[in-house]
Amino acid sequence: MNFRLSVILTILGAAAWGGVREGDPEGPRYRWSGKAFGVCWEGAPRVIGNSEVDALASLGPNSISQTPFGWMESPTKPDLRFGKGGWWGESEDGVRETARLARGHQIATLLKPHIWIHNSWPGDVVMSSEEDWKTWFEGYRKFALHWAEFARDEKLEGYCIGTELDRTVGREKEWRALIAEIRAIYPGLLTYAANWTDYEKVPFWDALDAIGVNAYFPLSEKPCPTADELTEAWKPIAGKLKALAETHRIPVVLTEIGYHSVCGAYSKPWEWRMRDAKPHFDDQAAGYEAVARTFFHEPWFGGVFWWKWHARRKVNEANSGDTEFTPQGKPAMAVMERYYKAASRPAK
């Protein structure tokens, strides 16, 4: 079977997102169609088996994202390393096995490599000289092409070319050259995960199949807003996302989104730790409800990946003091399950 055909059949069968863009002067290439209903799968520190994936599959998702890492010592120094270190689930063996287990449940994989910087984040990556920019892009190119080749060889359904590298996207020439190289070796779906602050500044959306947004938009200063209030807060944001999708004629995918299970989660939802906040499971569930109400019915919406899902955590494991992002064992998980299963049912 032709590889391009086998990939599209995998996409259509496993995830219900994917297709072919006709009329491309360079030949057919993939276009994101349908919707991905997924979670951000945290790579496990040790080998996993069917039981870990079975627990997620029972909730009705059709997708997961997986995140292998590269490492930088400083956001202003160009050296980037990858290939050694990290957990089993972030290694080639771990990503491969997790994708295989997921595919057994018709769950597709979006491979989403990420740069880890101690005491910083990818949005701070910026170089001070042209020489350093050249060195950084050479290193990032090797990292991105390595995982693109892996995604091709493993027939993974989607590939995210970068995550939250806000201060690099102005280097349009370098990014477009990298996208062209990835297209030449990987036939699947491509996106880029822009931070919520910078998605309108990305100049190369037209070269990709979906607009990826890590959607930690501030929604409310209230300690415990209702789902109705959060749905209202999403309206102007959704309007901008819709306009961008219609401009480029590709869908918007929330490549990462999540909320702590606390009161006050919506003023700065990107905060990594909220240990001093008061636990409030229903507040987290309201955020899941508002996202589903706002986006799931929209034709320009391409899917969502909730941050995050711990492979080693039992599906119903939560305690009253849990303030983490994960929905596992909380009312938010029930909201996710209800909407995901409804989306998978055929229309009447």
Architecture of domain 3-344: Alpha-Beta Barrel (3.20)
As a whole number of angstroms, the distance between CA 234 and CA 64 comes to 24
What pLDDT score does 85 carry?
A: 77
What pLDDT score does 316 carry?
A: 64
CA 327 to chain CA centroid, nearest Å: 16
Q: Is the peptide bond before 308 cis (omega within 30 degrees of 0)?
A: yes
Question: What confidence tier does 263 reach under pLDDT thresholds 50, 70, 90?
Answer: very high
Query: Per-residue pLDDT tens for 38-63?
Result: 999 999 999 999 999 999 999 999 99
What's the pTM value of the predicted model, to 2 decimals? 0.91
What pLDDT score does 276 carry?
A: 78
Domain boundaries, the chain: 3-344
As a whole number of angstroms, the distance between CA 223 and CA 185 comes to 48
Please give the structure tokens belonging to residue 18: 């994917």
Q: How far is CA 259 from CA 19, 31, 91, 226, in A?
A: 31, 29, 27, 14
Mean residue pLDDT of the chain comes to: 90
Greatest alpha-carbon pair distance for the chain in Å reads 60
Q: Is 43 helix (H, G, I), strand (E, B) or coil?
A: coil
Query: Per-residue pLDDT tens for 143-193?
Result: 999 999 999 999 999 999 999 999 999 999 999 999 999 999 999 999 999
What pLDDT score does 34 carry?
A: 86
Q: What is the mean pLDDT of residues 263-269?
A: 95
As a whole number of angstroms, the distance between CA 16 and CA 23 comes to 22
